[in-house]
Structure 1
């Protein structure tokens, strides 16, 4: 386990010069952090590539007023803070990892292991992502000067790297393959996964908006609209209609965090192990409905959709 900061270190070197340094750029592109970011963007067909990064970065270096699509210009504005952060991370690597793990084990079982390496990058809209449950990538451009928020997003991504028993992973995969409507497992499963990860990141009450904007106090206030969209999407799936444009508009972080934090704030953490360890969500949904009914809270689900979810 370690924090690999070479990508943002080379980026800082590039941005604090008056001319574009090809040698430093080549080092920057070859880092695991930048390579991971590019591979991730390619997987979601974003159109981001090495050529566009070089063109945008070159413009930022040569023109102090240029605002690029990767937001390198914001990093340039905060270059002194970034340099301080780099030194802080190098000196406090073990303490940073310890703090993140401390938050993780408030939620996951103590005997559940995590194994990961963290690679820094900058660019794109995500705060971070995890590949193959082992490689964590953090978009540090979103967290310059925000040390507490950085530890929080790190704990979020470490949750995704937990060591789930192979048997449970295979069972879930078979459900995805063999079920008539596997997309429901993908949507509800992602809501559980990101909901618990966001609980670890933000706690049971959101006190500060996520720097990436995926989870904010405002969009939690508008959670009913997200549930209306979710019900519509699931109804389509029930009738074998698949509107991927509609699915892409769903804020799964808001849905997941609302469900998971509602349970956690009243019932605690134990029922969440059904997803964390077993990749099963039905008991969690059932508990969510019980908590909502007992406390006069609308669950957001229609009766038709709820009944259908529980029979899948």
Structure 2
């Protein structure tokens, strides 16, 4: 395939250029046209999986003109200085991962930081993104959102992470392994409430693409039968909660109201303290009659 050499555009007298190139998350046809140009013209192609890179270039009809090196989680620390040396020597380094944009829950962040610190130009080939694709098709609010990546694998750490997000009002996007999807959804239902709306997006843009929407409790039950493929989970944010006045009577009443609604006293104290903007100890002392505010 004939392609212009993008490396000629940036050489001159400046250091090399680091190019972060998005690769298809499903269909090869989704690859941006510029990806082929960059693959053909790069001095160095750093790939998360060199075998998948070879398949991609074959599908795109691209002949690599530069050398290929592996760059994955296990060798990022050791390989970053080598790639930085290439950049400082004036070479154009193209970074690709298995799917989507490098450095977004994929290798690349270390190299970006090193390049920025060294004054090397960093640019990107925009393209497919599982985060934005899932968000767009989820049917949930998209005006404000946050990306939380992968949840911790251990149940306790996962529960603590989700508890910290229970009051998050923005739509949340998570990546998850298929064999952990059921446990993650169940933990979300416990932390956010079983009726919180969500969407499980799997195999996005692929032949067996599926988007399952519904309350988290129902999604967890659906996932119990097993989930296959690449999974992205989108969850609606919490409904805005009115603040709590910080006077003693209002704080006591707010805790009592939440206990009547089914919260434990500890949970009620934590939430009321957060909403009122006062220390938890102050609310605790008021509720337990420990002499008022300290």
Provide TM-score, normalisation by structure 1.
Answer: 0.22
Please state which structure has a larger fraction of its residues in helix. 1
Please state which structure has a larger fraction of its residues in strand. 2
